[in-house]
Amino acid sequence: MAEQTRSLDQVGLEILQASRNELYMNLPYLDVVLCGLDFQPAGGMTLSMATDGRTLYFDGSFLAERYMRGRVVCNRAYLHTLLHCMLRHLAKKKGNLSELWDLACDIVVESILDDLHYPCLEGGYSPAKQKVYGEMRAAMPVLTAEAVYRHLLRQDLDPYQVARMQRTFLVDDHGLWDMPQNDNDDQSEQQDEEWKDRSEKTRTAMETVLAGQATGGEAVLEQIKVAVRDDVDYRTFLRRFAVPREVMAVDGDAFDYTYYTYGLRIFGNMPLVEYPETKEEKRIEDFVIAIDTSMSTNGELVRQFLACTYAILRSTETFTRKVNIYIIQCDDQVRKETAIHDLEDLRKYMETFDLVGGSATDFRPVFQRVHELQASGAFTSLRGLIYFTDGMGIYPQKRPPYDTAFVLLEEPPMLFKMPPWAIKLVLGEAALERTAKELDLSLDADLEELPQL
C-alpha cells in the first residue's frame, strides 16, 4: 500500500512538471508565475489540489484520474490554482464570506481559462459556465473576484443555487486559504507582496518584451491590472485639485513665539511682534463633478460617490463655505446641470438627487459645456474636473486646460483606451464603501465649523 501511494505521488509530480513545461512553451509570459509554487504530495490533506501560496499540495490519484481524461484537464487544474495566487485571491479573502468568495474566485479563474485560446487549455466549455459568464458580463465590464463576489451577494442565492454553481466551477481545494501562515500576519503579507511582484513582472512581460507572444492573453492582463492595483485614498486624491489662498487663521509655521512671549514677560501686555492673522492653505473653490448617466451606471453607487465627495469637501482643511461647483449629468449629451455655491446647496442636491439619462456614453459634451461656462466667466480659477464613470465611452482627443480625472469602480475593458492626458483613479466599490465608513456621511452634520470667508 505504501509503495502504491509513493508511486501515485511520483506520477502526480511528473504530471505537474509536464503541465508546467507545456504551459511555459505556450504561455512564456507566465514564466515567473509558473515557478512560484513548490510541489508536495498532500499526504491525505486534500483529495484534489490545494495551495497556501507557497506550496502546491496534490493528491496523486486525483491527478492520475484527470490525466486519463486528457492532459488538458491537468493543465487547466494546475493553472487554475496558479491564477488564484497570481490574482491574490488568498490575501483578499479576509473579511469576506468564505463560501461566496471561493465561488467568485473560481468563476473568475475559469472565465480566464476559457478565454485563453491555446490547444493546451481548450476543452473546458460548458453551457452552464457560459450562461453564468453572460449574466456576470452584463453586470460588470471586467470579471474580477471583487465584482463577482458583490454580484453574488446581491443575488441572495439559496444554498441549492450556490451548490449547483460550485459543482460547475470547483477545481481545487481552498481550505488552506483560511489558515494563516503559522499565525504570522507579517509572513502572510510578505507572501502576498511576493505574488504581487510576480504579477507585476508578468504584466511588464505581456506589455513589452513578450507582447507579440501574448496573443489571447488579454483576459490575464486585465485581471493582473486589478491584482496589482494598490488601494487608493480618495481624500488625498481629491485634495490635489485645491489651489493656494489666504484664510483667516494663525500661521504657526511663520510665527516665532519666542519674541511674542519675551515681550509679554518684559513689558506685561505688549508683545514685541504680533502674530499674522492670515495664512496660506490649499482650498478647493471652482470645481466640476461630471456623472456618467448611461445605462451602465448604478444610481446608488453615484449617491455613495457624491456622499463621499461631500464629506471630504466639507472638511475645513479642504473647502471654504462659499464654493463654485457645477454638477453635470451626461450620457451622450448633457442631461442636467446644477450650480452649487455653498455646501448647504450640495447637501440639498444630494437629498433630492435623481439620475437623468440612460443612453450611450460620450464624454465630449461635458467638456464642451465646461468650455462654454469658462467663456461666460462662470469660473475664475477652475483647477479640475472629476468624471464618475465606468470608463467605456468616447473621449475628447484634445487635452482640456485643467486636470481631468476619471473615477472608475473597475478597470474598463482593454478595448477602451483612455487618452494619455487623463488621470485614472480606480477607486473600487469596496474602497468607496470603506471611505464612506471612515468618514461621517450624515447629511445633518454641523456646518458651523467651516470658516466664514
Q: Provide the 10 A C-beta neighbour count for residue 207.
A: 14
Domains of the chain (ranges plus CATH)?
2-227 (no CATH), 234-249+280-438 (3.40.50.410)
> What pLDDT score does 224 carry?
75
Instruction: Take residue 281 and report the three cell numbers written for it.
Output: 492653505
Residue 280: strand, helix, or coil: strand
> What pLDDT score does 448 carry?
42
pLDDT-derived band at 307 (thresholds 50, 70, 90) equals confident
Does position 425 have pLDDT exceeding 60, yes or no?
A: yes
Contacts 24+ apart (CB under 8 A), 431-435: 431/231, 431/232, 431/234, 432/234, 432/301, 432/304, 432/305, 432/308, 433/304, 435/233, 435/234, 435/235, 435/308
> What pLDDT score does 123 carry?
80
> What pLDDT score does 150 carry?
84
> What pLDDT score does 366 carry?
94
Which of residues 400 and 272 earns the better pLDDT score?
400
Least confidently predicted of 47-61, 166-180, 250-264: 250-264
Which of residues 347 and 190 earns the better pLDDT score?
190
> What pLDDT score does 182 carry?
43
Does position 13 have pLDDT exceeding 90, yes or no?
A: yes
Judge contact between 301 and 432, C-beta under 8 A.
Answer: yes
Does position 37 have pLDDT exceeding 90, yes or no?
A: yes
Phi, psi of 439 (to 5 degrees): -95, 150
pLDDT-derived band at 293 (thresholds 50, 70, 90) equals confident
Q: Look up cell 444610481; give the residue.
A: 299
> What pLDDT score does 217 carry?
65
pLDDT-derived band at 304 (thresholds 50, 70, 90) equals confident
> What pLDDT score does 451 carry?
38
> What pLDDT score does 38 carry?
93
pLDDT-derived band at 172 (thresholds 50, 70, 90) equals very high
Which residue type sits at 403? Answer: D
pLDDT-derived band at 147 (thresholds 50, 70, 90) equals confident
Does position 246 have pLDDT exceeding 50, yes or no?
A: no
Angle (CA) 414-416-420 rounded to 5° is 100
- H or E stretch including 328? strand 319-330
> What pLDDT score does 163 carry?
93
Does position 251 have pLDDT exceeding 80, yes or no?
A: no
Kindly report the pTM of this predicted structure: 0.65
Least confidently predicted of 2-11, 41-50, 96-105, 109-118: 2-11
pLDDT-derived band at 207 (thresholds 50, 70, 90) equals confident
Rounded to whole angstroms, the Cα distance separating 124 from 112 reads 11
Residues in the chain: 453
> What pLDDT score does 417 carry?
76
> What pLDDT score does 340 carry?
86
Does position 310 have pLDDT exceeding 60, yes or no?
A: yes
Average pLDDT, the chain: 78
- pLDDT tens for each residue of 343-373: 778 778 877 878 887 788 899 999 999 999 9
Rounded to whole angstroms, the Cα distance separating 181 from 330 reads 49
Least confidently predicted of 36-45, 102-111, 247-256: 247-256
Q: How much of the chain, in percent, has pLDDT values that exceed 90?
A: 26
> What pLDDT score does 447 carry?
40
- pLDDT tens for each residue of 73-122: 999 999 999 999 988 899 888 888 999 999 999 999 999 898 888 888 88
Over residues 308-314, the mean pLDDT reads: 72
> What pLDDT score does 444 carry?
43
Does position 446 have pLDDT exceeding 90, yes or no?
A: no
> What pLDDT score does 80 carry?
94
- pLDDT tens for each residue of 395-415: 998 899 888 888 887 766 666
Q: Look up cell 450611450; give the residue.
A: 360
pLDDT-derived band at 210 (thresholds 50, 70, 90) equals low
Among 15-24, 255-264, 404-413, the range of highest mean pLDDT: 15-24
Alpha helices in 314-359 (DSSP H): 343-351
